Structure 1
Amino acid sequence: METFETLVRAEFAPKNTFLNTASNGLLPARAVAALHEAVRLRAEGRPLTPLYADVEAARASFARLAGVSVDRVAAGASVAAHTGVIAASLPAGAEVLTAEDDFTSVLNPFHVRGDLKVRAVPLERLAESVRPGTALVAVSAAQSADGRLADLAALREAAREHGARTYVDCSQSAGWLPTDAAAHDYTATVGFKWLLGPHGAAFLVVPEDLGGLSPVLAGWVAGERPWESCYGPVTELARSARRFDISHSLFSYAGLRRSLELVEELGVDAVHAHDVRLADRFREGLASLGHEAVPAPGSAIVSVPGLGRRQAELSAAGIEVSDRAGHLRASFHLYNTDADVDRLLDVLGGRPLSAPE
């Protein structure tokens, strides 16, 4: 019987200490193999039918991970595009409540409308700031810059009390933090971070009634019968969330299908326990070095003020982290080990650097 460790070791063999999943995740071996096969299929002129099947398999796999029915999931390419669809649906003058300094993709489409009232408050005050007249609350489940987790339960209750809809970007949480997309009106997620897929694939979850959204980006793939919707206006949009699909990056979904299969095999609960344990180990080590991370209990992302300047030095030592607004951001995922954490702490503490495993 395969264990968590044996499954992971069979799929990943990083050549460095990679602690940067919050930027992009590593591809598992099965996804790499699927990408090679997809490229060969295209190069040899064979039918692309299997690649379209990959899109639907990936959609179904993500739906299971998100806890929703597959007909609520749209397949796209970016969170910004999904946010744009939601922004386009709001009436002029509608108030959108956001968290200060949240990731641009979940904010900017509301700002560029020009006729919406976009109000930003500190993340910790988001739920208490919902008020009568708030149409939508948009927030990342985990903040990209520092890993802080939104209190989604409190936000959901506040939104319900005032008749507001909720939009949650799960790009920095789906794959390591259990996701209940059914608890929100809309959620969006990219596939290239904690879900371990290639760039170019993203998902949007909408309500069963489709949430009053207009499919402003709809092309032929959004038709109820796509291959009969290639010419002229689409006469019948898909009756499911597929009406919000955009033309699929077929290679991306070929790889993502296999990556999502691995996440399902491992189980998000097991990944969560693994990732958070490593993050906590790093936090404890930081304290022993006299550093204090941004408070983000329960997060797999750790941000350390003032240490971002050391990112280049760490990269030269074979340790990949991020510099975010002067903070050093380390993010821990299923392929990381205690040795990875200790190696980073060794460099930060000025101790002799041991060779990576």
Structure 2
Amino acid sequence: MYAKGLIPQQTKEDMLVLGVTDSKKANNLVHVIEQHLESCLTPEKAKQYFIAICLVLINKQHHTLTDIATSMLHQIGQSIPDDATSICSIPDNVQKYADIMKQNYKHQDVVSTDWPPRIGRDFFGRLALVEKQDSCTQTKSAWHLLRGQVDETVKLAENKKISLEDVIEPTDNSLSLRVVIDGPPGIGKTTLCHKMLHMWSNGTLLHQKYDLVLYCPLRNSKIAEATTIADLFEYGRYEVPVVAEWFEKRNGEGLLIIFDGWDELSEQLRQSSLAGSIIYRKQLGDCSTIVTSRSYASALLLKIPNLSRHVQVIGDTDTSTDEDICDSLCNQSGSSSSSEIDSSDNTVAIQESEQLDLADENSQLALKLIDDLK
């Protein structure tokens, strides 16, 4: 900025002073820019100065700065010059590999409707995602889940029910994202991963700031025992070495890696694997990661410095279970009734808009199953 004449020399020297926090330096820089904008004689001069600041940020080739500057330019109706666009665009090989991965992820076995989905005709994926505000509730949650009391887990004061989009929502700090997702075996953690991959492929993933998303199943020995970044690429192509090198040079910026199945690693690999080094920010510090694990093996992950989010995947709540049973069994008989099952306060009531035929065998079976579950 100083080289472009956008800030005074004193401000440049202040940025080089040792012992001053980055936050304080940033606040000082913003204050200087605000003062300059206010001192501009005409709105047009202020606009040109603001555009010049944004272009400097874009030319730094920093992914986050580029996103912020581009967004600000769009808000004032300013297009990005061609030369600036070429600077912040990713290489052709990287884009080509990302496009190939999007096609692969689109064909994975997961429904494309809103999460949580109905998975096929006879299986349901209505899972609740709970953000753990306090790791001290882990024992309480495990006890409730062991007894099948899913709703009690959600009701814990330290827990907060969240949506899929909340899982990868950026945090307030500037560190790359570190998310731990745990839950009992077979609950749907891998399906959750596939859903996120599918959303990224279709451009429907909120906070879509990633140039590439890699899915790394740790049950795959090649990935579990990887020694280089290129080894983590499950789909091998000739572009892989170039793509891996590009992200290494950027310290992982713009890359999201989903490590699925931390519990699949041996104790030794949890301590020494490349996956562990990345998760703990010892390598590719600017890369974002999501790690799934069975609950019994996630204790070590919860000690990650500056962990962004701990999410627990739990099963159906009482209400959705009742609705699933009723819908599945009643629909088999072709019933068009719009009756609803209300299980609040552990009671079962039938709210009629069309009288439900209780003589219908499937309807009675649905009510019996729900009553048995209570």
Larger radius of gyration: 2
Report if TM-score (shorter chain) is over 0.5: no
Q: What is the TM-score normalised by the length of structure 2?
A: 0.26
- Structure possessing the higher relative contact order (Cα contacts under 8 Å, 6 or more residues apart): 1
Q: What is the TM-score normalised by the length of structure 1?
A: 0.26
Which of the two has greater helix per residue?
A: 2
